[in-house]
Structure 1
Amino acid sequence: MTTSLGEADWEALARNMLRAELMRRGLSYARLVEALAAIGVEETEAAIKNKVSRGRFPFVFFLQAMVAIGADWMQVPGSAALLQGEGLGQGGTQTLAKARKDPTP
């Protein structure tokens, strides 16, 4: 357990949140390229792989990706969960993909 998060932790969370949304929908990076193109955003698969693997991408890109794949709601782990490592490190993507709880209407 940690008491604070470093830059690498935030990058891992960003990477894993995007990957988790793709995983939930069974989408590949190639399909993300097609979905982005459908909303007028031109990206190559290689460029997306590089952005995501670094975990450093503009929030605008994150929003574009979420809209393109049809994500209309996203759950961000709370501080207690993050400090316990939820969504970070090895297996973080799978943890986030399984943890989604849809809001009640």
Structure 2
Amino acid sequence: MATPKNEEDWAERVHRHLKAELKRANVTYEELATLMKNHGFKETKASIASKLSRNTAPAAFFIAALVAIGCEVVKLEDI
């Protein structure tokens, strides 16, 4: 996979990776919102959908979401 050329490309790749991990874990946005509450986030299904569709979720959200769904390893070459 080619190296992203700008911030928007990086954001798209990160969000695509999170969506793939959610699918792999069979976790819906609604379920993720519930799981994220355990990590101090006040998210809703709609707020998650908005962040992921606009590629605007911050790094803290990305990491917390992966932890919430039980993802233990992220290989940078997979992003």
CA–CA distance in structure 2, aligned partners of residues 4 and 31 of structure 1: 30
Letter in 2 for 1:69: I
Specify the alignment match of 1:11 in structure 2: 11
Provide the TM-score with structure 1 as the length reference: 0.64
RMSD: 2.2
Larger Rg: 1
Where does structure 1 differ by over 6 angstroms across 4 or more consecutive aligned residues?
A: none
Shift of the 7–40 alpha-carbon distance from structure 1 to 2, 3 Å rule, reads closer
Quote the sequence identity (%): 35
Specify the alignment match of 2:73 in structure 1: 73
Shift of the 33–3 alpha-carbon distance from structure 1 to 2, 3 Å rule, reads closer
TM-fit CA distance, 1:17: 1.0
Specify the alignment match of 2:39 in structure 1: 39
Specify the alignment match of 2:61 in structure 1: 61
Q: Deviations over 1:12-48 (max 9, x none)?
A: 1011011011011011101101111233321111111
Unpaired runs of at least 5, structure 1: 79-86, 88-105
Contact 1:15 1:54 in 2 (8 A): no
Provide the TM-score with structure 2 as the length reference: 0.82
Shift of the 3–51 alpha-carbon distance from structure 1 to 2, 3 Å rule, reads closer
Shift of the 57–13 alpha-carbon distance from structure 1 to 2, 3 Å rule, reads same
TM-fit CA distance, 1:56: 1.9
